[in-house]
Chain A
């Protein structure tokens, strides 16, 4: 059989066999190459998907294993078809591939390559791992391509999905609203932690990623987290926890958190656990909120269970979900029986008909429900209850719950009913009741009945019955009560109120009273309202007590806050819980700051330890607390405080609280230390003074005793001599023995005594403290002496005059001398005046004569100059010489007159002092004498020129003359050098004692390098007409330096000269700095 190579049970083998190959380019099967048949045999027998392209036209073959890849409604059957025909839609991809294999013989391998083609009724994305390899014909030529392949679409897509799912997982983890962390390995190294996880853990990703979670969060280990993680890792059991309290360190603080979380094992592909996923939600806020709600609910329930009323809560729709204990106690029902609308079972079925619609009306309208109805007790009896139901609103203003209460008013109603039956009995009961009760009838509120209690309250006496209430108590008209009563009367709704204020006028004065009241409609048997029953119990005292307590609390705070002291309180455990305003003012801290950082921050760091110890000691023992410590003021300075605290004990001997005060004792401290210092100082001073006093007393005694020239005696207030010194004995001739005890008037002349001089002097001393007098006194021997007397009052410590000291000096000689002197002085003054007159005359004579002398002299000179000029040629040589000599003489005379004028002017001129700078003066002289100075090649150096207070023109003249002098006597062989220096000197530096000593002087020194002079002439050169040189050698009048001296003296100063022959001269001028 030619088709033996085709497997019989193969679908594809069957197809090949049945195919009509005669029309195929391959020709009938029996013409096929052995190699084709062999290859096909391999292909068709393989369980691995294979495809064969054969021949020039690339005829397609494939095996059964390949068949499924072609899908249901697709290319199959393609056997015998050409490749191009079969794979037309992907020929662009497949064609070149086959071509390449055919030409090169190189195989091509592709892994997971996408080759989309048509199958299953549409284009499909199909992934392949395949190999194209060459197939050879019998001649050994490449004549086909064998494709071994497997479709990997599923595995690729699975892998894709896996990757996608992992990506999604990661992004999901990252974006998850819960915290997710993935820990790898047995060390639980954090691989992934999303933002929520970081937030929960209080760590940054840098702190946590790629390190063991327990290294990053060591606080977890002690909380058992490590054990949990290890357990999950080893056992693979999922761990879940709800609201697990965990302490996590966030921002350095351990914070209590509640977390819902799970630890789930993560498996690797080998099914081994290689990590843990932790999913957590921080539920701290919820837990805390729930705890708070739980607490508050617990509180509420505790209150609700303990009130005497029945109480319950319903949802907005009226579904009752909670009753208080009293309800169950009363009804004897179980919560299951009562839930929802179960309450109907305890109602009177008849009344229920009105209750239900009313309740439903309230629920719909959100209105308060109020009604009186009976409820069945567990004893089988109905009791009447006033029922009020209030809506509770949520934040949006919607009704969230209803709160209902049922108040048992059976007794009231019974009382009311029985009163109707037996008013008298009721009245009796009421009368004896402490409860104030009255019944008011009709619109006018006629007092139908009133018990003693209410009559007493009203204070109007017993005859109030059958009168309208407002007539009896007109003061109520302006109050709220009539309105409330009218309301009850008209609506039948009882009014119940605690602590209602009523003002009654008692004894003409309004008095405030407080009552708990119930106003109840008074119903007739037919249930119609005919009046009002008033129940009232007076609670004025309690209210006032409460008010007073509040008031006193308020007052205490006000008082405490207004006190300059620092006041604080603490609880029995020693926690400070109140500070008055002064504390905040002083410390500059806010209540929040003290609450947060504690009061200890105010205390000086050095005292804190001691402070805590002392406070703990007091708190534990209950002993009074006392402490001196420094508090920090708002400006940062510390002040000493004395703090004291006392415990307040209750009746059982337990500490209720501590009340403490702190007082600023800085000033006392300062004062005390200052006082101490001063006391020390004073003590030292006192000791010193005492010693001085002792010494001075000794000295005084010696002195007084030994003074010879003065009579020093002490006389008492009456003028009796009590003490007597040596001087007194010497002057007055009495011994102490002779005179002590006798009156001091013995020393006065008869005449003085007669005119009461001794007493006059004492009175003067009494009045003015001192009396002085000069006059004749009498010695023991009767002779007189001229005495100078000083009587001084002597005071005791209390400034009272206790006597007088009397000091007498014998001035007899002095008086004689002074009498003579006075005579001489008068004579001298006369002489002086005469002298001054003469001097003045002389001066004016000198001035006038010099001035008048000038006129003719000048004219002589003028005439001479005219002659020289006009008649020069007419004169002989001898005549011209004589003429020149005449002119020189005239010139000499003119200079003399000018100098004399200047000299006399220094006396007569007005002395106007002004401030002049020495430098200015010298500069002016330099200008005046510029020609001469230039001629001598002179240099004038002024050092430290000062401002002097002088008569300007005289001062100018002084220096002019001195400098002229230096020029005149300059050394012929050298340039003139003048140096002027100035310094301020006092008396110790003055060359003479003739000047006033107590002032400062300018010492101006002018020194030249001229020919100088013998030192013996130091004085003489200042003399009038003194000349040291012949007239022919040096011109001059001999007046210049006299003028200089005169000017210096005019300024209350002086001038001295020092000469050294051949070297130069120095003139030292001393002028007072200040005038006068």
Chain B
């Protein structure tokens, strides 16, 4: 592991989700710097402006105004300098067809925004662990969608 701080960039228009993400990072006690952009256009501008100090990993929401996550990913993958950024999709839905498309576009992992916070925490933790401790190459298709065991206590019916 590098000594330097891990630079995470989160692109999400939803302030609640950004909060959940920050909370999760805090609770996971991960030594990382989190930068945030709130839409696709800003994301691309941010990246263009920080070509010399690109994030170590990008968490990318799909449903964003002005430029969707999918459009951003497409641009990033076409960009000479940006194409190497590890992009993790961070989305509410896990429509299998959409997941398939993003896999083919070159996203590194796909994370679902879990409804349960502990699950969300677990999945973000797992994603960051994979990014920092494994080679950043696209996994096999079945491992693309990061899942965590539902650790919620079973509610009585």
Residues of A within 8 A of B (CB): 851, 854-855, 857-859, 861-862, 865-866, 869, 884, 887-888, 890-891, 894, 901, 905, 909-910, 953, 1032, 1035
Contact = CB atoms under 8 A, between A and B. Distances in A.
8 contacts: A857-B115, A858-B113, A858-B115, A884-B156, A894-B115, A901-B93, A901-B95, A1032-B157
A964 to B, nearest CB: 16
Interface in B99-146: 113-118, 120
A1043 to B, nearest CB: 14
Which of B20, B113, B114, B115 has the most chain A CB atoms closer than 10 A to its own CB?
A: B115
Interface in B29-79: 63
Contact of A869 (B63, B97, B115, B118): B118
B110 to A, nearest CB: 16
Nearest to A870: B117
A858 B92 contact: yes
B14 interface: yes
Contacts of B117: 862, 865-866, 869
B95 A905 contact: yes
Contact of B93 (A854, A857, A890): A854
Contact of B92 (A854, A884, A1035): A854
Given A858-B115, A865-B152, A884-B156, 12 more contacts: A851-B93, A854-B92, A855-B92, A858-B92, A861-B116, A862-B116, A862-B117, A865-B116, A891-B155, A905-B95, A953-B97, A1032-B157
B80 interface: no
A861 B118 CA distance: 11
B115 A888 contact: no
B155 A884 contact: yes
B90 to A, nearest CB: 13
A909 B93 contact: no
Contact of B118 (A857, A865, A884): A865
B20 A862 contact: yes
Nearest to A852: B63
A884 B63 CA distance: 30
Main secondary structure of the interface of A (DSSP, over half): helix
Nearest to A1034: B157
B16 A859 contact: yes
Interface of B is mostly: loop
Contacts of A953: 96-97
A1030 to B, nearest CB: 12
Nearest to A888: B155
A33 B92 CA distance: 171
A901 B95 CA distance: 9
Contacts of A855: 14, 63, 92
A910 B97 contact: yes
Nearest to A850: B93
Contacts, number: 50
Contacts of A905: 95, 97
A865 B115 contact: yes
A620 B20 CA distance: 130
A496 to B, nearest CB: 117
A854 B152 CA distance: 19
Contacts of A910: 97
A905 B96 CA distance: 10
B88 to A, nearest CB: 18
A594 B101 CA distance: 90
A887 B155 contact: yes
B17 to A, nearest CB: 8
A891 B153 CA distance: 14
Contacts of A891: 155
Nearest to A910: B97
Nearest to B116: A865
A858 B97 CA distance: 21
Listed residue (B17, B97, B116) with the most chain A CB atoms within 10 angstroms of its CB: B116
A888 B152 CA distance: 13
Contacts of A894: 115
A315 to B, nearest CB: 119
A857 B113 CA distance: 12
B97 A861 contact: no
A907 to B, nearest CB: 13
Nearest to A957: B96
Nearest to B149: A931
Nearest to B96: A953
Contacts of B95: 901, 905
Contacts of A851: 92-93
A776 to B, nearest CB: 59
Interface string B3-16: 00000000000101
Nearest to B120: A862
Identify the 5 closest CB pairs spanning chains A and B, nearest first: A861-B115, A865-B117, A865-B116, A858-B115, A866-B117
A901 B113 CA distance: 17
A851 B113 CA distance: 13
A854 to B, nearest CB: 5
Nearest to B153: A868
Contacts of A888: 155, 157
Contacts of A909: 97
A953 B16 CA distance: 32
Contacts of B17: 859
Contacts of B96: 953
B72 to A, nearest CB: 19
Contacts of B97: 905, 909-910, 953
Contacts of B63: 855
A229 to B, nearest CB: 113
A897 to B, nearest CB: 10
A345 B118 CA distance: 162
A890 B114 CA distance: 13
Nearest to A952: B96
A866 B97 CA distance: 31
A953 B14 CA distance: 30
B104 to A, nearest CB: 13
Contacts of A887: 155
Nearest to B27: A869
Contacts of A1035: 157
A858 B112 CA distance: 11
A887 B115 CA distance: 11
Contacts of B23: 866
A298 B34 CA distance: 140
- Count chain A CB atoms within 10 A of each CB in B23, B92, B156 and give the residue with the most: B92
Contacts of B115: 857-858, 861-862, 865, 890, 894
A1032 to B, nearest CB: 7
- Among A855, A909, A1032, the one with the most B-chain Cβ atoms within 10 Å of its Cβ is A855
Contacts of B14: 855, 859
A887 B157 CA distance: 11
Contacts of B16: 859, 862
Contacts of A884: 155-156
Interface string B82-100: 0000000000110111000
A909 B97 CA distance: 8
Looking at B14, B63, B95, B120, the one whose CB has the most chain A CB atoms below 10 A away is B95
A888 B156 CA distance: 9
A1041 B146 CA distance: 29
A414 B67 CA distance: 149
Contacts of B93: 851, 854, 901
B15 to A, nearest CB: 10
A311 B35 CA distance: 146
B140 to A, nearest CB: 15
A866 B20 CA distance: 10
Contacts of B92: 851, 854-855, 858
Nearest to A953: B96
